[in-house]
Amino acid sequence: MASQLSPIINAQDLIKTDSSSEIILIDARAGINAEENYKTQHLKGARYIDLNKDLASVEKDPANGGRHPLPSFSKFSEVLSKLGILPSSHVIIYDDKNGSNAAARFWWMLKAIGHENVQVLNGGLQEAVKSGYPVSSEIEVFETAEKYLISEWKLGLADIDEVEKARTNNQNIVIDVRDKNRFDGLTEPLDLIAGHIPGAVNVPFSENLDENGLFKSSEILAEKYASILKDKPAENIIVHCGSGVTACHTLLAMDYAGIKIPKLYVGSWSEWSRNDREIATKKQD
């Protein structure tokens, strides 16, 4: 039954779980003042997780793995134990950016170690508050858990050399989920060079959402990605973004649509653009 759990949960369904002690609610907001914002107001019972400290092992030079490389298994195990998460825990994650901030990244990481009972809150913090879920500014008290044993990433990963080969192979698809202006090289707010990986196709993650900031139906998403992927197997598809975070939003949408989760290129543009690899812009394509 656990394997049939939808990766997306709506706010009204979250409210119905409010009295369940089996649910571990995680606040995965990221960016400037994220932890202070959590302390000021969060969904009642939610435990905070930090993108840079808990979900990545940030290096001084993003050329080595990008801006948000995956943490070691031992570090991630410590994070899960600190949060009180066991292999049997039902984890529900939210952020304030419709899942694209760090909620989907944490979802992917849990799925990648074989944790099945994990969902992302549709519409995030704002939707839950609007729906009447209680909020709090209290310090949340909870028990830590025994060591969570992790031995491998069970979902597909691609490194920079595999992306180099895949981008010129018509049997592969490399998907860039950043917004079109960043893909086209018209703007670059985070990395040193603007542009995209030559051969990649641009499918902005924002297209996974409707006008209300909620995920489109699984049927609509399935039809959308079927037209893009053209029956190519998951192992031939690589998804990336700027630093391996928002790419997980699209992997989440694909899973919601019933599509086998493709490979994630964690280093993404932040790594590619710092390694003297070929770069394309709108004018060059």
C-alpha 131/C-alpha 17 separation (Å) is 14
Are both 168 and 129 inside the same structural domain?
A: no
Question: Would 192 be classed as within a structural domain?
Answer: yes
Q: Mind listing the pLDDT tens digit for each residue in 175-204?
A: 999 999 999 999 999 998 999 999 999 999
Are residues 64 and 169 located together in one domain of the fold?
A: no
Q: Which of 136, 171, 192 is the last residue before a domain boundary? A: 136
Residues 201, 121 share a domain: no
Q: What is d(CA 261, CA 67) in angstroms, rounded to the nearest whole number?
A: 22
Residue 146 lies in a domain: no
Q: Are residues 122 and 25 in the same domain?
A: yes
Q: Considering the domain boundaries, does residue 285 fall inside one?
A: no
3-state secondary structure (DSSP) of residue 42? strand
d(CA 30, CA 103): 9
Q: How far apart are CA 166 and CA 142, in angstroms?
A: 45
CA angle 80, 91, 132 (to 5 degrees): 130
User: Three-state DSSP class for 237?
Assistant: strand
- Evaluate whether residue 282 is within a structural domain: no
Domain boundary among 120, 136, 152: 136
Q: Are residues 179 and 123 in the same domain?
A: no
- Looking at the structure of the chain, the number of domains it has is 2
Give the structural domain span for 39: 2-136
* Entry pTM: 0.96
- 108 and 45 both lie in a single domain: yes
Residue 241 annotated in active site: yes
Are 110 and 53 found together in one domain?
A: yes
Supply the pLDDT for residue 1: 32
> By percentage, how much of the chain surpasses pLDDT 90?
92
280 lies in a domain? Answer: no
My answer on whether 87 and 167 are in the same domain is no
The residue out of 103, 136, 169 marking a domain boundary is 136
CA 245, CA 255: separation in Å to the nearest integer?
A: 16
Statement to judge: residues 11 and 104 lie in one domain? yes
Q: Residue 188 is part of a domain; what is its CATH number?
A: 3.40.250.10
pLDDT of residue 3: 47
CA 158 to chain centre: 16
H helices of the chain, in order, are 11-16, 34-40, 51-54, 73-82, 103-112, 124-130, 160-166, 180-183, 218-229, 247-256, 268-272
pLDDT computed for residue 282 by the predictor: 85
| Strand, helix or coil for residue 104 | helix
Q: Which of 104, 100, 101, 275 is nearest to 197 (CA)?
A: 275
**pLDDT, tens digit, for every residue of 244-264?**
999 999 999 999 999 999 999
What is the average pLDDT across 212-219? Answer: 97
Are the C-beta atoms of 108 and 55 separated by less than 8 Å? no
CA dist 199 and 279 (Å) reads 10
In a domain, 141, yes or no: no
Co-location of 52 and 120 in the same domain: yes
11, 127: one domain: yes
3-state SS, residue 255 = helix
**Residue of 46, 241, 264, 266 marked catalytic:** 241
Least confidently predicted of 18-22, 30-34, 170-174, 271-275: 18-22
